Amino acid sequence: MDNIIRTGDQVQFMPSFGAAILMAPAMTVITGSAATTSVVGMTPCVEGDEKSVVLPGIPYMSGSFVTPGTCTLTIQSLGPDQTSKKTKIGGKAVILKGTTFQAKMQVMSPAMQPAPPGPPVPDPVAMSVGTGMFIPSNMTVMDHG
């Protein structure tokens, strides 16, 4: 049994993305699209709704690149235990809390390495992967499969 994810549930990105470390808590909310159904008064999330989660402007540092840059975080793919094997709405599996999803960090402005007397050196890594998790507000309606 697992919690069904609904509109307004928290999405938390873990701070480590390879060598890159997020410098601020990275949390946002997910929006569900299964409008024909309600779970404890809110719209449930189905497969594909994870693509709507975009968290821009998060500061990060990476190794010797200690002057923070900024990145945008997205959900790259759900974990195997984050979609229901039984419950579908409109032909799409309901999203469950599960364990963790694969997250993507896309660099918007690179972190910099101070290099006196020359100009700072930008972090060459433009994209990195990490993980994240859902924090459900629904503690009553569970999926049984």
Indicate which CATH number applies to the domain containing 17. 2.60.200
Each residue's pLDDT tens digit, 77-114: 999 999 999 999 999 999 999 999 999 999 999 999 99
Q: Is residue 123 part of a domain?
A: no
Contact 20, 105 (CB under 8 A): yes
Q: Is residue 132 part of a domain?
A: no
Contact 1, 94 (CB under 8 A): no
Q: Is residue 39 part of a domain?
A: yes
The answer on pLDDT for 27 being more than 80 is: yes
DSSP readout, 41-61? TBPBPBTTGGGG-EEEEEEEE
Task: Kindly indicate the confidence band of residue 40, based on its pLDDT and cuts at 50, 70 and 90.
Answer: confident
6: closest CA among 95, 99, 133, 132?
A: 95
Q: Is residue 70 part of a domain?
A: yes
**Cα–Cα distance for residue pair 95/6, rounded to 1 Å:** 8
Q: Is residue 134 part of a domain?
A: no
Structurally, how many domains does the chain consist of? Answer: 1
Q: Is residue 95 part of a domain?
A: yes
Q: Is residue 96 part of a domain?
A: yes
Q: Is residue 136 part of a domain?
A: no
**Cα–Cα distance for residue pair 139/137, rounded to 1 Å:** 6
- What is the pLDDT, as a whole number, of residue 35? 79
- What is the pLDDT, as a whole number, of residue 135? 96
- What is the pLDDT, as a whole number, of residue 145? 59
Mean pLDDT score, 26-51:
92
The domain of 44 spans 2-113
Q: What percent of the chain has pLDDT over 70?
A: 99
